[in-house]
Amino acid sequence: MKIAVVGTGYVGLVTGTCFAETGNQVICVDIDENKIGRLNKGEIPIYEPGLDVLFDRNVAEGRLKFTTNLAEGIKEAQIIFLALPTPPGEDGSADLKYILKVADDLGPLLERYAVIVDKSTVPVGTAEKVRAAIAKSAKVEFDVVSNPEFLREGVAVEDFMKPDRVVVGTNSSKAQKTMEKLYAPLVRQGNPVIFMDERSAEMTKYAANSFLAMKITFMNEIANLCERVGANVDDIRRGIGTDSRIGKRFLFAGIGYGGSCFPKDVQALAKTSRDYDYDFRILNSVMAVNEDQKKRLMPLVQDYFEGELKDKTIAVWGLAFKPYTDDIREAPALENIKALLSAGAKVTVYDPEAMDNVKRILGDQVTFCHTPYAALDDADALMIFTEWPQFRTPDFEKMDKLMKNKVVFDGRNLYELDVMREMGYTYYSIGREAVL
């Protein structure tokens, strides 16, 4: 099939590349000329494991192309994906200006029947708005369907190629057939393509992300209580995760969730609830707890240095909001680094993938280091914000030689308490006793 993907970011590029991999002709469109320029030179502007192999193959075989020209991109498309940003507006609602702008632009450009697919995470009722915007000027028939994306950054290619499920919201049997055909190669193992009405599909995405954010937040609250009662949240996690009704995943306590999706999607669902006069109390708590959780370590750092952070050097490991991505949107590391800087500390940082993105925000306010150990040179303490695997088994003796103080504030519970005790570290983590 001929496919256009409008918006070539984390979701759009993965969507376009993976559908090219299943044999479709794909054109990705973006207004960012720099991005399209790089893609046309064979450069992938984001870090996403495994994407490069598929990208190179499909570009080389002529199935994957890039343009800044919407008219050219959609000219022959049977399916047009909208993978555009939906950032939070001031009131928490998802800002639809990118989607509706493209919908406005699409109307006069459509030359044949096409299925327009909302891949972005959008509030209930958006498909109707997109349909209305296109209908203002379209001269041909078209369908708008909701097809929310559930991929996780860091494992996006795998998630896309082998989805647990695909959700499609539509009332059109013609569009349903097109979507069935498109997804058939990805669900050969029997995972379902679940069809429903478009409002339910839009809601499904928010329900999924809000549920996951709630699961993390629940464990963070258990962790906070564990610290008070003298229990270990890791044991609790193992103790409850083995219950098949609960499941093992998303039970790791930490310094709070971040990223481009959970914070904005929880906010947007809360806003939708308010719009419909429903007080979704759990969501309000999830947001409030997560805000506090991101600040959990700072008071411990302040106490340790008796409120005197001026001229202390704090090393930071991990900037991305989670491992295997360079995405720093709403990353807990950023907020903490800003707090350290405003307390007068010097900050040295290391992240395997996200440093360029942070440089664009913090410039020379922090020192970027090429290795995790370089960041520790003469450091008064280490703070950890991302569970990159390479941080899990560091050379503690080497760390000891480099650091001024053997003190670690770990927002991701990477180390065993006994090991840290044996190595003589002062070690603070989340939901576990401090090693002093």
> For this structure, is 28 an active site residue?
no
CA distance 11 to 327: 12
Q: Is 182 annotated as a binding residue?
A: no
Q: Is 262 annotated as a binding residue?
A: no
CB 369 within 8 A of CB 348: yes
Q: Which is nearer to ligand NAD, 10 or 391 (CB)?
A: 10
Q: Is 322 annotated as a binding residue?
A: yes
* C-beta pairs of 356-360 under 8 Å, 24+ apart in sequence: 356/326, 357/319, 357/326, 357/327, 357/328, 358/319, 358/328, 358/334
- Tell the residue number behind the tokens 């809000």, with chain if given: 210
For the chain, the straight-line distance linking the first and the last C-alpha, in angstroms and rounded, comes to 62
Q: Which is nearer to ligand NAD, 63 or 264 (CB)?
A: 264
Q: Which residue is nearest to ligand NAD (CB)?
A: 9
Q: Is 264 annotated as a binding residue?
A: yes
Q: Which is nearer to ligand NAD, 29 or 362 (CB)?
A: 29
Which one of 28, 226, 261, 369 is the catalytic residue? 261
Q: Which is nearer to ligand NAD, 11 or 399 (CB)?
A: 11
**Please, what sign has the CA dihedral across residues 103, 108, 109, 110?**
positive
Look at residue 179 and give its three-state secondary structure.
helix
Q: Which is nearer to ligand NAD, 73 or 256 (CB)?
A: 73
Least distance between ligand NAD and beta carbon 87 (Å): 8
CA distance 342 to 283: 31
Look at residue 25 and give its three-state secondary structure.
strand
Least distance between ligand NAD and beta carbon 94 (Å): 7
**DSSP conformation class of 435:** B
**DSSP conformation class of 370:** S
Look at residue 79 and give its three-state secondary structure.
strand
Q: Is 30 annotated as a binding residue?
A: yes
Give the tokens for residue 323.
Answer: 């491992």
Least distance between ligand NAD and beta carbon 424 (Å): 40
Least distance between ligand NAD and beta carbon 90 (Å): 17
Least distance between ligand NAD and beta carbon 86 (Å): 4
CA distance 379 to 312: 8
Question: What is each CA distance from 431 to 121, 224, 235, 297, 434, in whole angstroms?
Answer: 33, 5, 10, 11, 9
Q: Which is nearer to ligand NAD, 10 or 425 (CB)?
A: 10
**Sheet-wide strand order for 2-6:** 64-67, 25-29, 2-6, 79-82, 114-118, 142-146, 166-169, 193-196
Q: Is 35 annotated as a binding residue?
A: yes
Which residues of this chain interact with ligand NAD, rule CB under 6 A?
6-12, 29-32, 35, 83-86, 98, 101-102, 120-121, 149, 151, 153, 260-261
CA distance 51 to 348: 30
Q: Is 86 annotated as a binding residue?
A: yes
Q: Is 153 annotated as a binding residue?
A: yes
The length of the chain in residues reads 436
CA distance 186 to 161: 6
Look at residue 343 and give its three-state secondary structure.
coil
Least distance between ligand NAD and beta carbon 149 (Å): 4
Q: Which residue ranges make up the annotated binding site for NAD(+)? A: 30, 35, 86, 121, 153, 264, 329
Residues marked as catalytic: 261
Q: Which residue ranges make up the annotated binding site for substrate? A: 150-153, 205, 250-254, 258, 322
Q: Which residue ranges make up the annotated binding site? A: 30, 35, 86, 121, 150-153, 205, 250-254, 258, 264, 322, 329
